[in-house]
Structure 1
Amino acid sequence: MRLWLIALFALCCLWPAQAKTIVYQRHQAKEDPQLRYVTAVLELAIRESGVAYSPRISALVMVQSRGLDELRRNTGLIDLTWTMTSAQREREVLPIRIPIDRGLIGWRVALLKQHRLADFARIDSLQALKRYRAGQMHDWPDTPILRSNGLKVDTSDQYESLFKMLAAGRFDYFPRSLIEVREEWLAHAEMGLAVEPTLLIRYPAALYFFVSKQNRQLAADLERGLNKAVREGKLQALFEQHFGSLLKELNVSGRRVIELRNPLLPPQTPLQRPELWYRPGE
């Protein structure tokens, strides 16, 4: 009997642990421009963490605020989302403070109607930009950031409606991050929109993974995996693989830059770690 128990114990130790499921948020976009890259980052973080997790997308489509509320209430509907950080969001849910976008969520170029290109080619200051109306989602941190800098913003509670509103002339431009704009432009090619080629609107921001405050082990595992990926250059390599040619194509270093303040940026943002942030020409 004793030998049988020893053999059974040894077998259990050798049997691989069943992977824990991570359910991540399904966003509103028909073709989510961040999804391929962010899921690749999540899979990299899992591999580097050394813990067996199996990620899958949620069945239910949610706006950002709904996903964050599910995590805040720890309902179990989702385990993880990714979104721009803010002080309020970090009070309510648990951030993993590695900017998976390397800060580019705050580097914005304008989607606009073709006939507006000449107008925006003449913009050379924040004051000049204030003449035009931007469009954003009602629950995105970008909305109060833009407004706090004196910019006019119209909002919608439906992501796809913003493209229709832009095409219909309800507002003048839709500021989109460098990691989103090309996919969004291609997905709405029939609307006659253009990517403005001369201007960059920039504010300090970070795209993080967020989990429930009751799921600290998941946060610790993913943070460990991401930090290991950064130390070994794997996150930077994945970023370059997805966005290197795009950033050259968008001529980031050749654009006129309008710098904005971000009053929502938490003081814990790891700005002192240069290896986490994108720098043109690196």
Structure 2
Amino acid sequence: MPTSFDEQVIEEFRANEGRVGGPFEGGDLLLLTTTGARSGTERTTPLGYVRHGDALLLVGSNLGGPHHPAWYHDLLAHPVVRVEVGTRTFQALAVPAEGARRDELFAHAVRQAPGYGDYQARTTRTLPVVVLERAEPDGWEPRPVVTLADKLMEVHTWLRGQLRQVRAEADAHFAARAAHQGPGEPPAPGLGLQIRQRCLAFCQALEFHHVSEDDHLFPGIARHHPRLTATFDRLREEHRTIARVQGELAALLDGIGIADPQRFRTELDAMSKELNAHLDYEEETILPLLADVPWPPVPPARPAEATG
């Protein structure tokens, strides 16, 4: 049995294809699942949203309270979120809007749902506006996955695409800064957090991928191919090298708005070079061993029941 108001709303939402009654009846409601900034555990929150073209906007109103809601702090720490709208569930990249873009989007939200203006009037903090964007990099097209080799290539292709997009967004950000003349905010506001969120999502996905390989994939293959021990040792060492460069890049992102363009690009180039060489080597040595392993894994056959 649900024990809180949110749990009741979530249960009703999922049981009725996204439709609920009570204070949310007739409104645009979604379920946002975030990863706790400190706990690392998932939590689901029902939230009103506003459409802006193809994008979905969330406003961190917290009913006009003095502090940002917990889900906002969560998505700053873990940018990839799960979204449920109606009967559809998908992953999204949560990017808080900045500067003039935030003001424009907030004005749009207030036109669609005037209550947000009332919440802003109750507090001195600026209500954040979060844009839910595609989690996949530009140009991403899913391909059939029938073997473990296919699955590994899917992950590698996603990582390479994310890295290319981070670089493109960083170049656009620094170009706008260089072209800006005079006081005030440079054109193309919002790219600072855009880059931070996408790069953080990339780094977290890469870390999860490497931990999964080190703890599960590599030991499983090594049991059947002991001659590859040196190969796996090299791959693990490369994981540690990439993690170090990744950590340095993440530290730079905290100050992307004032980061030195040349230093940022140098770190990003170092990470790109290390990562692509690592992925190339892994594909050369590991993919042939996985080409005949079905994905998803085939469950073991159940023993036949004895007949009398």
More helix by share: 2
Give TM-score, length-normalised by structure 2. Answer: 0.23
Between 1 and 2, higher relative CO (CA 8 Å, sep ≥ 6) is seen in: 1
More strand by share: 1
**Structure with max Cα Rg:** 2
Give TM-score, length-normalised by structure 1. Answer: 0.24
